[in-house]
Chains A and B, each alone.
Chain A
Amino acid sequence: MLNSRQPLQSIAAASTPLVSLRRGDSQLFETERRLNAVLNNASVSIFLMDDRQHCIYMNRAAEQLTGWTLDEVLARDCPLHDIVHHTYPDGRPFPLEECAIDRAFPENNQERGEEVFVHKDGHFFPVGFTASPIRDDATNIIGTIIEVRDISEEKAAAERQRLLINELNHRVKNTLATVQSIAAQTFRGQTDQTARSVFDARMAALSTAHNVLVEDNWESANLRSVIERALAPHLLAEVDLNRFQLQGPDARLHPKVAVTLAMALHELMTNAAKYGALSVPEGQVVLTWSLHDLEDNRQQLDLRWEECGGPVVTSPTRKGFGSRLIERQLPMEFDGSGEITYAPAGVICELQIPLTTLGWVGQETVEGRQAL
Chain B
Amino acid sequence: MTLLVGRRVLLVEDESLVAMLAEDMLVDLGCEVVVAMRLDKALALARNKVFDLAVLDVNLGDARSYPIADLLFEHRTPFLFATGYGRQGLEEAYKAVPVLQKPYQAALLEHLLTRLLTGEAQARKVSGGGSMPCPCLGPDGQTFRADHCP
Partners in one complex: yes
Residues of A within 8 A of B (CB): 254, 256, 260, 263, 321, 324-325, 329-330, 332-333, 335, 356-357, 361
What are 19 A-B contacts with C-beta separation under 8 Å?
A: A254-B61, A256-B61, A260-B15, A260-B17, A263-B17, A325-B20, A329-B17, A329-B20, A329-B37, A332-B19, A332-B35, A332-B37, A332-B38, A332-B41, A333-B15, A333-B19, A333-B37, A356-B61, A361-B62
Q: Which residues of B contact A330 (CB under 8 A)?
A: 16
How many pairs, one residue from A and one from B, have CB atoms within 8 Å of each other in the complex? 39
Which listed residue, B16, B61, B62, touches A325 by the CB 8 Å rule? Answer: B16
In the complex, what residues of B have CB within 8 A of residue A254's CB? 61
Instruction: Report how far A329 CA is from B18 CA in the complex, Å.
Output: 10
- In the assembled complex, the CB of A144 is this many whole angstroms from the nearest CB of chain B, namely 45
Interface SS, A side = helix
Which of B14, B19, B35, B37 has the most chain A CB within a 10 Å cutoff?
B37
Contact with A along B62-74 (1 / 0, CB 8 A): 1000000000000
- Give A361 to B37 CA distance when docked, in angstroms: 18
Interface centre among B16, B17, B37, B62 (most CB of A within 10 A): B16
Closest B residue to A357 using CB positions: B62
| B31 in the interface (beta carbon within 8 A) | no
Q: Determine the chain A residues whose CB is within 8 A of the CB of B62 once the complex forms.
A: 356-357, 361
Query: What's the nearest-Cβ distance from chain B to residue A166, in Å?
Result: 20
Alpha-carbon gap, A335 to B60, bound state (A) = 13
Bound form: Cα–Cα A324–B35 in Å: 13
Question: How near does chain A come to B67, taking the closest CB pair, in angstroms?
Answer: 15
Residues of B within 8 A of A332 (CB): 16, 19, 35-38, 41
Chain B neighbourhood of A324, CB < 8 A: 20
Cβ contacts under 8 Å, B19 to chain A: 329, 332-333
Smallest CB–CB gap between B63 and chain A, Å?
A: 8
Chain B: residues with CB nearer than 8 A to chain A? 14-17, 19-20, 35-38, 41, 61-62
Chain B min CB distance to A259 (Å): 8
- Measured CB to CB, the nearest residue on chain B to A361 is B62
Residues of B within 8 A of A357 (CB): 62
Shortest C-beta distance, A303 to chain B (Å), equals 16
Closest A residue to B16 by CB, please name it: A329
Query: Are B14 and A333 in contact (CB-based, < 8 A)?
Result: yes
* CB neighbours of A325 from chain B (8 A): 16-17, 20
Min Cβ gap B134→A in Å is: 26
What residues of chain A lie closer than 8 Å to B36, measured between beta carbons?
332
Closest partner residue, chain B, to A356 (CB atom)? B61
Give the interface centre of B14, B15, B17, B41 by most chain A CB atoms within 10 Å.
B17
- A-side contacts of B14, CB under 8 Å: 256, 333
B16 touches which of A263, A335, A356, A361 (Cβ 8 Å)? A263
A329 to B20, CA, bound (A): 8
Nearest CB in chain B: distance from A330 CB, A? 6
List 8 other contacts, CB 8 Å, given A329-B16, A332-B37: A263-B17, A324-B20, A325-B16, A332-B36, A333-B38, A335-B41, A356-B62, A357-B62
Q: Which of A256, A321, A356, A361 contacts B15 (CB 8 A)?
A: A256
- State A254–B17 Cα separation when bound (angstroms): 17
Distance of B108 from chain A, by nearest CB (Å) = 18
Residues of B within 8 A of A256 (CB): 14-15, 61
For the complex, what is the distance from the CA of A254 to the CA of B14, rounded to whole Å? Answer: 14
Report Cα–Cα, A260/B17, bound state, in Å. 8
Q: Shortest distance in angstroms between B84's beta carbon and chain A's nearest beta carbon?
A: 11
- Whether B38 lies near A260 (C-beta < 8 A) is no
Q: Which residue of A has the minimal Cβ distance to B36?
A: A332
Closest A residue to B63 using CB positions = A361
Contacts of B35 in A (CB 8 A): 332
Q: Which residues of A contact B16 (CB under 8 A)?
A: 260, 263, 325, 329-330, 332-333
How far is it, in angstroms, between the C-alpha of A254 and the C-alpha of B61 when the chains are bound?
10
Closest to B40 in A: A335
Q: Of all chain B residues, which has the CB nearest A255?
A: B61
Shortest 8 CB-CB distances between A and B: which pairs?
A329-B16, A332-B37, A333-B37, A333-B16, A260-B16, A361-B62, A256-B61, A325-B16
A245 to B36, CA, bound (A): 35
Assembly CA distance A325 to B16 (angstroms): 7
A263 surroundings in chain B (CB, below 8 A)? 16-17
By beta carbon, the residue of chain B nearest A179 is: B103
Contacts of A335 in B (CB 8 A): 38, 41
Which single residue of chain A is at the shortest CB-CB distance from B18? A329
Cα distance, A263 to B16, chains bound together (Å): 10
The smallest C-beta distance from B103 to any residue of chain A, in angstroms, reads: 9
CB proximity of B68 to chain A, nearest CB, Å: 15
Chain A residues near B15: list those with CB within 8 A.
256, 260, 333
Nearest CB on B from A294, distance (A)? 15
